[in-house]
Structure 1
Amino acid sequence: MENHDFQISDEDLNNFRERGYNDDLLPKRQSERNMGIRNYFTLWMGSIHNIPNYAAVGGFLFLGLSPINVVFALILSAVVVAVFLSLNGVAGSKYGIPFSIHLRSTYGALGAKLPGFLRGCVAAIAWFGLQNYTGSQALLILIGKLWPGFLRLGGETKFFGISIPGLISFTIFWAINVLIGLGGGKILNRFTAILSPLIYIVFGGMAIWAVNAAGGIGAIFSYRAVETSSSVPPVLIYLMIINSVLAVWAAPGASVADFTQNAKSTKAQMIGQMLSMVVGYAIFALFSVVILIGGSIRYGTQEWNVLNIIEQWDNLPAVILTMAVFLLTTISTNATGNIIPAGYQILALLPKKINYRKGVIIAGIISFVIMPWKLMERSDSIYVFLNAIGAILGPVAGVMIAHFFFSEKQELDLNQLYMDKTTDNTENPYVGINRNSYIATIIAVVLCLSGQFIPVLSGISDYLWLVGFFFAFVLYLILDKLWPVKRTGVTSNKK
């Protein structure tokens, strides 16, 4: 396919290096952009079928929609997420720049540090730890099936609130995730290419088992969860599900340039991501609903924890294979959405002292030290955390897209974006803080969080990402009309 994206020259790259920029922050040469449609198609497939996503679907079934409507709502959510990922990924694929530089173009060199820290350090590292803990629980079940005595190691001894078997399981799973993160996008491409076929084989087999266990597909789609709430209009429930799925993808969606910087072309990443999300979620929506309801019918209880369903199987090889694939999908999710962005953002904060690999190691150590198992002591911890992430990163995403497409009109000046800090940069539009971006983001975040304290605004609490994104988007455009940021010439992108 013909490529109209900006091609960086060796002369410009050498110039940026002389200005003190680490190679990991530099725009990618065309020869380094090796991710095509197939790579992006498989990139997110492994990130969809993870344990928290199955738990979320279980919660959706209690909202009052029929099973088939939950499937449709998930597919519609996937379309929205796909559009978001594709659009926010254009800056990365067009110029070959990572998220930290994309963020600089929106918030300014100084202004980018706070939203970058919130996404790349707070959100990514905390979520990395939480995902490691949920994955380690699957590993603990798997080891327990193979070696029952392992679960009795240390007796009742606790280490900072976690059992000895739990700590060992967590440490092993944590180490594997960090190693995958150290390999970066190249290792991840190979990993997801192998994982994707396994996902369809294993989860397809689970879906067939669930249909047989329930007595047919009709029994599954006619099933109704008890104690469902029918007082909320269906259209609002659809919006709640869309918002929840967007919150899951809020962090990787904001920093998607870390992956699209490696795209062969903008067209490739947009087609690949659209197909990945829509096809992947269509399959996940059907499989998850069928598996959870089929398992609930089979065991006579409404069981929305997919691990508990698998643990009750009496077929040991099937348990081992399924748990292993769940572990692999969690690793894929953790690498794409958490440890890789965290590594790049820590690098961006200290570019002269830290490279990407050191950033991954630092992020990994912090994720262990915060003891994520303590964060998971409450059953609703994941949902509270995701809601908070949506409230913060929804506005950030809204401002990023509004700025790039409407203020910059998709044209960035790389020479000024990679500014020479030894010269006078007073005329540089990317220096300091972009006032309009900050005002729009802060007001939108305050609006989202105010629903927790102001009764009249409590209704927005179920739609924080959507409210934050659209409010910040519109407010930024208004501010940019009233007080436009000074622009200078831009680099040509027609080479």
Structure 2
Amino acid sequence: MTSAEQTVHSDGRVELTDPDALANSPYANAELAPTRLPQRTWTTYNYAALWMGMAHNIPSYLLASGLVAIGMNWLQAFLTITLGNLIVLVPLLLNSHAGTKYGIPFPVFARAFYGVRGANFPALLRAFIACGWFGIQTWIGGQAIYVIVGELFGNGWLNASAIGGHPWTMWLSFAFFWVLQMVLIFRGIEGLRRFENWAAPLVTVAFVALMVAILVKAGGFGPILSQPSKLGWDADFWKIFAPSLMGMIAFWATLSLNMPDFTRFGKGQRQQVWGQIIGLPTTMSFIALVSIITTSGTVVLYGSAIWDPVELTRRFENPVIVTIGLIMAILATMSCNVAANVVSPSYDFANALPRWLNFRTAGLVTGVIGIVIQPWRLISDPSIYIFVWLSFYGGLLASVAGVLIAGYWLIDRTNLFLADLYEPNGRYWYTAGWNWRGVVATLLGSLLAVGGAYSNPGAGPFPADGLIPFLKPLYDYSWVVGLVVGFLAYFALTLTAPSRQSTASHAAPSY
């Protein structure tokens, strides 16, 4: 069936009838154009493997071990993380639908609700957060390389003269790992898919091996599971439960926006949905359990929680075990970092300058910004990692997710016009390329979500009373506030001040 320059296939997937229709568009390039059906080949396994590769990584491990480090016992930490991932799966699947149906990446999807030009606002917001994550992961991978080389060459490497608070050899390891990832990016999206398929299972084996080693040294599960919570189950626990849960949700809030970057290659909705259901909650719960047991074991063995697996691996005396473990850590970091933190900003930066940047050159921009953002500061403390970094950006991105869900599912009923997403003066041009409704809804949701951002005295950059004191109570629920306010504000603004006829009334049937 053909309608308005696009073909709707029997399985509901849509493509441009004439792929050359966008040849003269200033808002299109090869990466941003809708994926043709022959290139939509990703299966359920590909999506499950993608999530295994993204979830089984050191920041995921730090997420769980950080909860133990701030006082939760194994059960409290496990329930917090599992609940967070089940919640974030909902907006993630809702926004994934458009990628599979239309073959478009996140920044093009956002054009429908922010305008062809205005989509750069949420896209660049997402991109800069991804750059921060890229830097964090690259620093962790550099640490692993630094330790491996230290095992081989001794204290001369590990105790080299310091520059900027770290040995110069650590900076060299960081730079080497950065280059290694840039090489993978220049292989393109298919090279990434092949890397994920074989790297993901190896990473899983490495984390399990670390847990088993700690269990053997600690004398089994008994001493670990009997560790009491420092918080109990009363007010002390519930005081940090809500902000911790928001941090757990925010961990994947980035992917809840840009998963269309991957689902655009899906064979169908069933493949991407089941691949993600199998991949995200199960793998994150698994890595959380492994991390919690391992970190709780360090309390038994060493008297305090060692939340960093690179530091923990260094405690083993056998250099072969240390080397193998850290090589797996490097694979884990590359597997997650390139997929989760370079693919999206590459599309996002290319969306801003489609005639100047492609997937590879935009990936290089991501890498450079990832260094400038100074990731070694963001990961220096579990409180900053969870309550400052995760909670703050989670509230910002949640408001964008609210706009996308309201616009795609309620306003347009999953029906979009592909050609207009790339054309000036088309349906999605709005006013000078901007839809003020999406921008206002995002700003309002972000203000209420993070306007009251606060830190405990001496534990973060925000004032103890909050940036805006009367909004402080909302910050503990930043992701929920951002999502709900963004959703309701966009829906209300679009109904009260419509700028175009809804596509739901005359478009092809949705699937």
**TM > 0.5 between the two?**
yes
The 8 Å contact of residues 106 and 258 in structure 2, kept in 1 or not, is answered as: yes
> What's the counterpart of residue 212 of structure 2?
208
> What's the counterpart of residue 313 of structure 2?
310
What CA deviation, in whole Å up to 9, does each residue of 1:92-135 have, x standing for no partner? 11100011101111211122112211112x21222211221122
Give the CA deviation at 1:369: 4.3
> What's the counterpart of residue 341 of structure 2?
338
> What's the counterpart of residue 119 of structure 1?
126
Give the CA deviation at 1:401: 1.1
Query: Is 1:51 paired with 2:45?
Result: no
Distance 1:261 1:30 in 2: 10
Give the CA deviation at 1:245: 1.6
Mean CA deviation greater in 136-145 or 49-58: 49-58
Distance 2:316 2:199 in 1: 23
Does the C-alpha gap of structure 1 residues 302 and 362 become closer, same or farther in structure 2, counting only changes over 3 Å? Answer: closer
Query: Which aligned segments of 4 or more residues in structure 1 are displaced greater than 4 angstroms?
Result: 62-65, 233-238, 374-381, 424-431, 488-491
Q: Match for 1:127: what amino acid?
A: W
Give the CA deviation at 1:169: 0.2
> What's the counterpart of residue 172 of structure 2?
168
Q: What's the secondary structure of 1:354's corresponding residue?
A: coil
> What's the counterpart of residue 449 of structure 1?
450
Give the CA deviation at 1:338: 1.3
What CA deviation, in whole Å up to 9, does each residue of 1:136-182 have, x standing for no partner? 112211211122155258x4252x55432011100111111222222
Q: Match for 1:19: what amino acid?
A: S
Root mean square deviation, CA, Å: 2.6
Distance 2:52 2:21 in 1: 38
The 8 Å contact of residues 146 and 173 in structure 2, kept in 1 or not, is answered as: yes
> What's the counterpart of residue 284 of structure 1?
287
Q: Aligned runs of 1:470-481 on 2, under 5 Å?
A: 470-481=484-495
What CA deviation, in whole Å up to 9, does each residue of 1:238-274 have, x standing for no partner? 5434311221112222111111111111221111111
Give the CA deviation at 1:322: 1.4
Give the CA deviation at 1:300: 2.9
Q: Aligned runs of 1:214-293 on 2, under 5 Å?
A: 214-226=218-230, 228=231, 231-232=234-235, 238-293=241-296
Give the CA deviation at 1:431: 6.2
> What's the counterpart of residue 492 of structure 1?
508
Give the CA deviation at 1:230: 5.3
Does the C-alpha gap of structure 1 residues 440 and 18 become closer, same or farther in structure 2, counting only changes over 3 Å? Answer: same
Q: TM-score, normalised by structure 1?
A: 0.90
> What's the counterpart of residue 478 of structure 2?
464
Structure 1: tracts of 5 or more residues without a match: none
> What's the counterpart of residue 391 of structure 2?
387
Q: Match for 1:296: what amino acid?
A: V
Distance 1:323 1:474 in 2: 46
Q: What's the secondary structure of 1:8's corresponding residue?
A: strand
> What's the counterpart of residue 298 of structure 1?
301
Distance 1:373 1:295 in 2: 23
Q: Match for 1:87: what amino acid?
A: L
Q: Match for 2:23: what amino acid?
A: R
Q: What's the secondary structure of 1:27's corresponding residue?
A: coil
What CA deviation, in whole Å up to 9, does each residue of 1:361-413 have, x standing for no partner? 22223333444446656675534222321121111111111111111110001
Does the C-alpha gap of structure 1 residues 46 and 428 become closer, same or farther in structure 2, counting only changes over 3 Å? Answer: closer
Distance 2:141 2:428 in 1: 49
Q: Match for 2:161: what amino acid?
A: E
Mean CA deviation greater in 457-466 or 261-270: 457-466
The 8 Å contact of residues 62 and 225 in structure 1, kept in 2 or not, is answered as: no
The 8 Å contact of residues 68 and 296 in structure 2, kept in 1 or not, is answered as: no
Distance 1:24 1:362 in 2: 16
The 8 Å contact of residues 85 and 273 in structure 1, kept in 2 or not, is answered as: no
What CA deviation, in whole Å up to 9, does each residue of 1:3-55 have, x standing for no partner? 623331451x1011232421111101111111110000010112223222222
The 8 Å contact of residues 64 and 230 in structure 1, kept in 2 or not, is answered as: no
Q: What's the secondary structure of 2:317's corresponding residue?
A: coil
Give the CA deviation at 1:329: 1.3
Match of 1:35 among 34, 38, 42: 42
> What's the counterpart of residue 438 of structure 2?
437
Q: TM-score, normalised by structure 2?
A: 0.88
Mean CA deviation greater in 342-351 or 206-215: 206-215
Distance 1:413 1:132 in 2: 39
The number of residues matched between the two structures is: 486
How high is the sequence identity, in percent, across the aligned residues? 28
> What's the counterpart of residue 128 of structure 1?
134
Query: Is 1:189 paired with 2:193?
Result: yes
Distance 2:223 2:378 in 1: 38
